Amino acid sequence: MFTQGLVLVVVGMTIVGLFLGMLVLVLMLSALIIPRFNHLLPDDQPRTQAPAAATPVDAEAAAVAIVVALATAKAQQAGSQT
């Protein structure tokens, strides 16, 4: 029974290793082939463009949101205790 388990482990690991090796090979080949056809479907925006700056958060609005969230949590906690 031990021998059958050992054979099963070896066969399973071999199949997984072969599959992962083929997967790496396919990914490497696709990395070589796909850029040749990039002109058919160009990107919407150039990659060199800097990302848009995040909008600044209004400190007063953030404080109000925190207070509302805390009050809601406290009300839910008080409601669940009764």
Tens place of pLDDT per residue across the chain (82 aa): 999 999 999 999 999 999 999 999 999 999 999 888 888 877 776 666 565 655 666 888 888 999 999 999 999 988 877 6
pLDDT of 50? 61
- Identify whether 18 is part of a domain: yes
Query: Six-digit token pair at 20?
Result: 């992962």
72 falls within a domain: no
- Domains: count for the chain: 1
Q: What integer pLDDT is reported at residue 48 of this predicted model?
A: 66
Residue 67 domain-assigned (yes or no): no
**Looking at residue 73, what is its pLDDT?**
92
- Does 10 map to a domain? yes
Q: What is the pTM of this model?
A: 0.45
Domain that holds residue 3: 1-38
The reply to whether 17 falls in a domain is yes
Terminus-to-terminus CA distance in the chain, angstroms? 60
Residue 13 counted as domain residue: yes
Determine, yes or no, domain membership for 73: no
In a domain, 45, yes or no: no
Greatest C-alpha distance within the chain: 71
pLDDT at 69: 94
In angstroms, the CA 71 to CA 65 distance is 10
